Amino acid sequence: MIAVWSPTTLLHDPSAEIWIGLRTPGTEVAERVSRIREAVPAEWALAGEVPWSVLTSVHSEGLLRHLRDVYADWVSTGYPQDRVVPYVFPTPAMLGGMPGRMPVAVHGRAGLYAYDTMTLVGPGTWEAALMAASAAWTAARRVSEGLAYALCRPPGHHATRDGYGGSCYLNNAAVAAVTLRAEGFAKVAVIDVDAHHGNGTQAIFWDRDDVFYGSVHVDPGAGWFPHYMGFADETAGGTNLNVPLAPESGDEVWLSGVARLCEAAARWGAEALVVSLGVDAAADDPESPLRVTRDGYFETGRSLGGLGLPTVAVQEGGYHLETIGPLVAATLRGMGGQSLS
Ligand SMILES: [Zn+2]
């Protein structure tokens, strides 16, 4: 197995999340990276920097420049809040069909590309997000050497072409998918086993027939993020499959959902696979109500590995520091055809 990371991903320090008006300690912390590195035995390779042209095949120039520049602009104005937090959003409801103007104030501009208040931009955010995307890009370019794992932090599957949110800034899985396409794989499947629906990845590939997106996740219809998307009737004419699960679903229901995604990707004719590997569906995780065990994650890996495709696994969520490492390791062992211990 090839495992790719970058120490630069440790620099992202959002410090908190603003959730329903409350400032709460962030759970997407740098220690997640150290815990995973400790638990996954591999020769760790360093990511090379992803070309700008690859990033612009996934994201708009506007989002990329905003993420690159907004923290320095914010700090230079001397706001009392030391992280970039939007307070006004140019939603279609606000603009009423009019184009709107570029705000002069940085605090006006802060909501231009953010779609929630919990994804703060702080010191190191751009550098870390860039190198997380770079890890996905590097891993995808090395997929011919075997199972390739990218330890991406911050995660990415909630980032859309034009927007960031859900603790995600750049869509690492989408970068891996377009890189596999450029490497010559005609049909690429993204299977997302994070506890939450990857609305960003779904939206980025919605109109494309060369990338399939499938996701198993806690039902947004039961009140869970991303709330507006992730429902079973979002099919994109056959290249999108959502399997929303009720809260408290455990291994059996979860694994039947994973099996459905694998069958659909195989039937569609996928030539290569990107796995959005979140482990926040685990029983101990603070961010979801699903109850998947370590054995369940190992079996998830076995199902994905059973497809027999060139595979890039991209780290998404997983926030319980005591178990995140063993859960990721168990999934990767399953994917690689190894035994659990
Ligand atoms: Zn998640």
Is the distance from CB of 4 to CB of 47 less than 8 angstroms?
Answer: yes
- Ligand 1 mean position, distance from CA 51 (Å): 27
| Angle separating helix axes 61-77 and 125-141, nearest 10 degrees | 150
Listed residue (157, 132, 156, 137) closest to 148, CA to CA? 137
Q: Is residue 89 assigned to a domain?
A: no
Does the residue 110 lie in any domain?
Answer: no
pLDDT tens-place string over residues 15-46: 999 999 999 999 999 999 999 999 999 999 99
Question: Is residue 59, in this structure, part of any structural domain at all?
Answer: no
In the reported structure, the alpha carbon of residue 95 is separated from the centroid of ligand 1 by a whole-number distance in angstroms of 31
Distance (Å) from CA 34 to ligand 1 centroid: 19
pLDDT at 101: 95
- Number of folded domains that form the chain: 1
Distance CA 221, CA 226 (A): 10
Q: What per-residue confidence (pLDDT) applies to 40?
A: 97
For residue 174, tell me if it sits in a domain.
Answer: yes
Tell me which residue range forms the domain holding 143.
2-50+124-335
pLDDT computed for residue 201 by the predictor: 98
CA 257 to chain centre: 19
Omega within 30 of 0 (cis) for the link into 154? yes
Tell me whether residue 88 is in a domain: no
List the CATH number of the domain containing 128: 3.40.800.20
By CB neighbour count within 10 A (0-12 exposed, 13-18 middle, 19+ buried), where does 336 fall? Answer: middle
The stretch 79-95 carries a mean pLDDT of 95
Dist. CA 80 → ligand 1 center (Å):
30
Distance 195 CA to ligand 1 centre (A): 5
pLDDT attached to residue 341: 80
> Which of 111-115, 220-224, 243-247, 285-289 bottoms out in mean pLDDT, i.e. has the lowest?
285-289
Among 44, 20, 314, 293, CA closest to 157: 314
- Token reading at 331: 């999934």
Catalytic, out of 158, 196, 197, 320: 158
What mean pLDDT do residues 114-123 have?
A: 96
* Half-sphere exposure in the Cβ direction for 254 (13 Å, CA): 30
The pLDDT tens digits of the residues spanning 314-325 come to 999 999 999 999
pLDDT band at residue 114 under the 50/70/90 scheme: very high
Among 209, 227, 207, smallest CA distance to 218 is for 227
Query: Do the bridges between strand 22-25 and strand 188-192 make them parallel or antiparallel, or are there none, so unpaired?
Result: unpaired
Q: For residue 218, report the distance from its CA to the centre of ligand 1, in Å.
A: 9
CA distance 327 to 325: 5
Position 295 in a domain: yes
Question: Is 160 within 8 Å of 199 (Cβ atoms)?
Answer: yes
Query: What single-letter DSSP state applies at residue 90?
Result: -
Query: Tell me: the pLDDT tens digits for 201-224?
Result: 999 999 999 999 999 999 999 999
Task: Write out the H or E segment, with its range, that includes residue 189.
Answer: strand 188-192
Q: What is the mean pLDDT of residues 226-233?
A: 98
The answer to whether position 91 is within a domain reads no
- What letter would DSSP give residue 282? B
Order across the sheet with 211-218: list the strands.
44-46, 2-5, 148-150, 311-315, 272-277, 188-192, 211-218, 240-245
Residue 228 lies in a domain: yes
Query: How far apart are alpha carbons 139 and 48 in whole angstroms?
Result: 10
Q: Is 158 a catalytic residue?
A: yes
Using CA atoms, how far apart are residues 18 and 212, in angstroms rounded to an integer? 33
State whether residue 285 is helix, strand or coil. Answer: coil
Instruction: Say how many CA atoms lie within 13 Å of 119 toward its Cβ.
Output: 23
Beta carbons within 10 angstroms of residue 195's beta carbon: 27
Instruction: Share the mean pLDDT of the chain.
Output: 97
Q: Is the full-model pTM beyond 0.95?
A: yes
- The tokens describing 164, both together, are 């960031």
CA 47 to CA 334: how far, in whole Å? 24
Q: Are 62 and 113 in contact (CB under 8 A)?
A: yes
**Centre of ligand 1 from the C-alpha of residue 217, in Å:** 8
